[in-house]
Chains A and B, each alone.
Chain A
Amino acid sequence: MIKIELAIETLVKNKVEFVIVGDIAITAHGSAYITKDLDFCYSRNKANLKNIVSALAPFKPRPRGFPENLPYIFDETTLRNATNFTFETEIGDVDLLGEVAGIGVFSEVKEFSTLMELFGFEARVLSIEGLILAKRAAGRPKDLLVLPELEAMQESLLKEQDAG
């Protein structure tokens, strides 16, 4: 189970360039959906990889399902050698995505994000429009299940903007 506030705090304080995507983003926009992990899309530039290591290394990330008796090194080289990671950490499960299906890499995901104040920190969260694109592209039954609610949320947001 992810400690949401602590995870966001460590990413922001370490100046990680990230966009929260997935079910925590859906909840931040208003869904009552329950999830267990934090998914975020990250910039793969060198400085950001270093910042991600500074942010998460204290919480001992290891790939989920990785044998306990084997050593695992979490550093910039590890992050350079792949794009997407599913980690378990001392603050819960964290998924790092270099790109998001239906949208693209970090720079494109950022275009579909909105700044939100979360626990006193400013963090980027994938917009409802972006979430709809991503869920449609992912296309698994669990993704398609949330689409009607997301579309209703998008419609209500537009109504709210129209109403001033």
Chain B
Amino acid sequence: MRKLNPKVEEWLLNPPPGSKAAAAKEFGVDLTLLIGTLRMTPTERLKELQVSMESLAEFSKQARIWREKNRDKN
């Protein structure tokens, strides 16, 4: 875990109007999530991505199995 400067964290939590962060928030980017990932090292971020990929793959697999099992019921 790396340390994110508290001023940057505060600035992302309350982005000033006209800033790129404010525009991202307005666009729908969850800046609290961004703060969480910016606190990580690049390796930690990629490890988390790998876990997310594996979870999504497993979820897709289970959904496919469920659809095949229930195909005849619908």
Contact = CB atoms under 8 A, between A and B. Distances in A.
A156 B13 CA distance: 11
Interface residues of A, number: 32
Contacts of A118: 42-43, 46
Contact of B43 (A3, A36, A119): A119
Contact of B37 (A1, A2, A31, A154): A31
A160 B21 CA distance: 14
Contacts of A28: 42, 45-46
Interface of B: 4-5, 7-8, 11-12, 15, 19-21, 23-25, 27, 29-31, 33-34, 36-38, 40-43, 45-47, 49-50, 52-54, 56-57
25 contacts: A2-B53, A4-B49, A5-B46, A24-B46, A27-B37, A28-B42, A28-B46, A30-B34, A32-B30, A32-B33, A32-B37, A117-B41, A117-B42, A118-B43, A120-B43, A125-B42, A149-B24, A152-B19, A152-B23, A152-B29, A155-B19, A156-B12, A156-B21, A160-B5, A163-B5
